[in-house]
Amino acid sequence: MKAPKPDSTRGRGSLIRLVRGFRRDLLSALPERFYRAWMAEYRNPLIHSFVCNDPGLVKLILQERPDDFPKSDRLREGLAPLLGESIFVTNGEQWKHQRRIIDPAFEGGRLRETFPAIWSAADATLTRLTEGEMDIEPEASHAAADVIFRALFSLPIEHEIASRVFRAFRAHQDAQPIVNLAALVPLPRWLPRLHSARTRRTAAEIRGLIESLVAQRMETIEAGTAPDDLATKIMTTPDPQTGQCFSASEMVDQVAIFFLAGHETSASTLGWALWLLAANPDWQERVAREGRGLTKDFSAISTLKVTRAVFREALRLYPPVPMMVREATRPEVFRERPVPRGAQLVLSPWHLHRHERLWQRPDDFDPGRWETPEGKASARDAFIPFSAGQRVCPGAGFAMLEGVIMLARIVAAFRLSPGCVPPVPVARLTVRGRDGILIRLERRKDSE
């Protein structure tokens, strides 16, 4: 089965058309040739950017010389009201200090400790879901937000502050979709990166709520009564080089990005994975069989081999972070072409994962590909849903654990079929369905 992608434009297009296109939808605004090109250059008096699909270039930028290709200041500007100086937008020494504190919280060994939080959130999701046709995206967002609140602060989404943060996040995204795109793609500097009054208000509301969670946690840490969750771990881990812990305000920045990066992305993949299974009943039954055998036992997760392959295939076809942008800090030569200082370098999981020269049958949903030598070779060269190198997503292991548990448990409990309209992917903050993702759910009988 072919996994839908939006229609692309054919040619270069004028700048105005491009900007309009970005406003409407980033994915369809970009030309079809990006699925074949090793490198594509956009150039006009205002922006100069290079989409880099050559695996050698991706490796150079993300893994071999990442300090020469930092994140651009535009990203920071776009996301500042909500994220302040969080790890997602900082560079250099400040970023390294933050990463030294955050990484230990997500080390392999600690995943086992987040397992009960994920399991309980899956229980709650199964209680909430009902039969019938629905847009699965809000359900997936709810589930992923629940996971992140439980793992970070040991709070279910029903907790008053947690549910207020969740609601405020939704309002915030409605208020500033264009700013998000401006943060992701190299739009010209003159394009107003307006933070509307509503954006500023919703960002301030979210940060106020997070401040109160952090302050309460500080008190329980001092009293020695804090639960052993991710927030406690991050707030009590000193930077091994400087001995400094995060201050309360630094912690607010980090918690804001954990909520945002941690729930939007996981929700996006869960929604697409459920839809892909709805449209592929054979794979769905194989996942359901694995899910039925699952017990609340961490070591049983390694048996979810098919579910894991399906989740990876969903990450390939619908990478939640469709593009990443870096900036050249000095003149470079890429594929014999000069790249000036300040050029914007676009790394596009969206195009890389469906690249016609890097994948066989790139638009086909085929979880079996991960076991083939060709699939493994393509994955090595062209599969970066979590990025790569020193800025690789620290939550990758956590997200995979959450994804396979949620998927296996939902599919074991419900039979899925596609809704009346197939979804059309668009890039919002993450890759979402333009009109949602419609799926029909029918509760399975115990014996199935």
Do residues 424 and 317 make contact, with C-beta atoms less than 8 angstroms apart?
Answer: no
Do residues 37 and 50 make contact, with C-beta atoms less than 8 angstroms apart?
Answer: no
State the minimum distance, in angstroms, from the CB of residue 266 to ligand HEM: 5
Q: Interior CA angle at 59 toward 58 and 62, to 5°?
A: 80
d(CA 182, CA 76): 11
d(CA 315, CA 11): 28
Nearer to ligand HEM, 324 or 413 (CB): 324
Nearer to ligand HEM, 153 or 386 (CB): 386
- What ranges make up the beta strands (E) of 138-216? none
Q: How many CB atoms lie within 10 A of CB 302?
A: 9
State the minimum distance, in angstroms, from the CB of residue 390 to ligand HEM: 7
User: What is the CB-side half-sphere exposure of residue 28 using CA atoms within 13 A?
Assistant: 15
Do residues 232 and 96 make contact, with C-beta atoms less than 8 angstroms apart?
Answer: no
Nearer to ligand HEM, 239 or 285 (CB): 239
**CA-based R_g, the chain, Å:** 21
Nearer to ligand HEM, 312 or 415 (CB): 312
d(CA 342, CA 329): 6
State the minimum distance, in angstroms, from the CB of residue 321 to ligand HEM: 4
420 is in an annotated binding site: no
Cα dihedral sign for 410, 352, 320, 12? Answer: negative
Name the residue type at position 321: V
**Which stretches of 190-348 are DSSP H helices?**
197-223, 230-236, 248-278, 281-292, 305-317
SS3 395: coil
Quote the DSSP letter at residue 7. Answer: P
- The closest alpha carbon to 18, from 185, 184, 173, belongs to 185
State the minimum distance, in angstroms, from the CB of residue 262 to ligand HEM: 3
Nearer to ligand HEM, 21 or 70 (CB): 70
Nearer to ligand HEM, 319 or 362 (CB): 319
State the minimum distance, in angstroms, from the CB of residue 117 to ligand HEM: 11
The contact set with ligand HEM (CB under 6 A) reads 87-88, 99, 257-258, 261-262, 265-266, 269, 320-321, 324, 385-387, 391, 393-395, 398-399
State the minimum distance, in angstroms, from the CB of residue 323 to ligand HEM: 8
With CB atoms as reference, the residue minimizing the distance to ligand HEM is 395
Nearer to ligand HEM, 221 or 388 (CB): 388
Nearer to ligand HEM, 263 or 415 (CB): 263
d(CA 119, CA 405): 7
H/E element holding 162? helix 160-175
Binding-site members for heme are 393
